[in-house]
Structures are given as C-alpha cells and as structure tokens.
Chain A
Amino acid sequence: DTAVSQTPKYLVTQMGNDKSIKCEQNLGHDTMYWYKQDSKKFLKIMFSYNNKELIINETVPNRFSPKSPDKAHLNLHINSLELGDSAVYFCASGRAGAAYEQYFGPGTRLTVT
C-alpha cells in the first residue's frame, strides 16, 4: 500500500502549456508539502498546507498554484510552463509539530521542451 502517491510519474510537455500534478497520502497526516528537486539534487520547499490551509509559500513564481481539497490531497497546477521548470517535484506529508519526519512520494519528473 503506497503511503504517498503522485500522478503522473513522468510528464513531458512543451513550453507555454499548463499542467497539473496530483498527490494523495493515506497516512492520516495533516500537513502536506511540495518540493522541487533540480538536476543537482537540491531539494527546496515550495509550499506547505496544514489542514487545507496554506502555511508555507516560498518565493515561487505565481505560475505555480497549489490546491488542497482535503487533508489527504494536495495538487500543484503550473501555468505557462518554462524550460527552467524542468525538475522532479516531490510531494511529502507529515504530522504538524513533527516536521522532522516527512514522508515523500516517488516524485514527478517534469521535462519542459
């Protein structure tokens, strides 16, 4: 049983397109995160939701819009994709107050051509 799942696993698209990535966790956690990992493996937080409320919003272009319909789901919509958006996007979940222990999904490898 997958704890944190993401769809799709791979996404290849052209510049200027709009795409979405979906994340679901079945761990009963109340906090979910989106991270971006670049080609050098640097993992940087983008957003975090706690009980459907946005609590972390790092300096991310407003072409990126997260949405949390409920505690178990967190989606990421990206408008007007650019070459620099190519990366692996990871969803993670954890318990509030225990941010040291985050459970990561398998990642979505986005390639913008």
Chain B
Amino acid sequence: QKEVEQDPGPLSVPEGAIVSLNCTYSNSAFQYFMWYRQYSRKGPELLMYTYSSGNKEDGRFTAQVDKSSKYISLFIRDSQPSDSATYLCAMRTGTASKLTFGTGTRLQVTL
C-alpha cells in the first residue's frame, strides 16, 4: 500500500461546478501538505501548502487538512476549463526534505 493514496480519476465536471479532490495517507509524521497542479506535458507547479491541520484559502482554491483522519482535500470553486489538469497532493514530515506524492487526479472541466 502506498503512503499516499489518491483517486486517479478522471473526474469530469461542468464549468462553474465545485470540485473536491482528496488524498489519504498513512504516515502520521507528515506535517506539511501540498497541492501541485500539472498541465499535460508540463512540470508540476505548486498551488498551495498547509502546515498541520486546518484550512487555507487562496482565491477559488481551498485546502483542508484533517490530521486525525489522515485526509486532505482541495476544493475548487467556480471551476474553469483552464483548471483542467492533473492535481497531485504531496506531503513531507517536519524534518525531511523529500516530498511524497500521491498518484494525481486528472480533472476535466467541460464547457
């Protein structure tokens, strides 16, 4: 079993929908939680990061971390076709410099 699990999708939603992307993990030492977005044939780019539990909002994006359930989410409000990409969650412990990634969820936002 992988340390970080993520539904690969694809997830197809109409423009304007609220999207919920999720990851579960098994390592309770993870303290930093990241969401990266990867467009086709491009490198991943950091969207948001959260330290420990709680919520963080940035424009249309909200990241949530529930450490007690070992569950993290990314919500996208008013989704746009330009949001169509693969979304990768990533995590690290407090001391390690390496990131452990989920397998990514492919999102398609249709007109």
Contacts and interface: CB of A to CB of B under 8 A. Distances in A.
Interface of A: 4, 31, 40-45, 48, 50, 55-56, 58, 90, 92, 96, 99-107
B43 A100 contact: no
B103 A100 contact: no
B84 to A, nearest CB: 15
B88 to A, nearest CB: 6
Contact of A40 (B34, B46, B103): B103
B92 A100 contact: yes
Contact of A44 (B8, B97, B101): B101
A106 B46 contact: no
Interface in B61-83: none
Interface of B: 8, 32, 34, 38, 41-46, 49, 86, 88, 90, 92, 96-99, 101, 103-104, 106
A45 B99 contact: yes
Given A40-B8, A101-B49, A31 B44 contact: no
User: Ordered nearest first, which 8 A-B pairs have the shortest CB separation?
Assistant: A104-B43, A99-B97, A43-B101, A100-B49, A41-B104, A100-B32, A42-B103, A45-B98
Contact of A43 (B42, B44, B96, B106): B44
A50 B98 CA distance: 12
Nearest to B101: A43
B96 A99 contact: yes
A107 B92 contact: no
Given A41-B86, A104-B43, A106-B42, A96 B97 contact: yes
A50 B101 contact: no
A42 B106 CA distance: 12
Contacts of A50: 97
A72 B1 CA distance: 36
B23 to A, nearest CB: 13
Contacts of B38: 41
Contact of B98 (A99, A101, A103, A105): A99
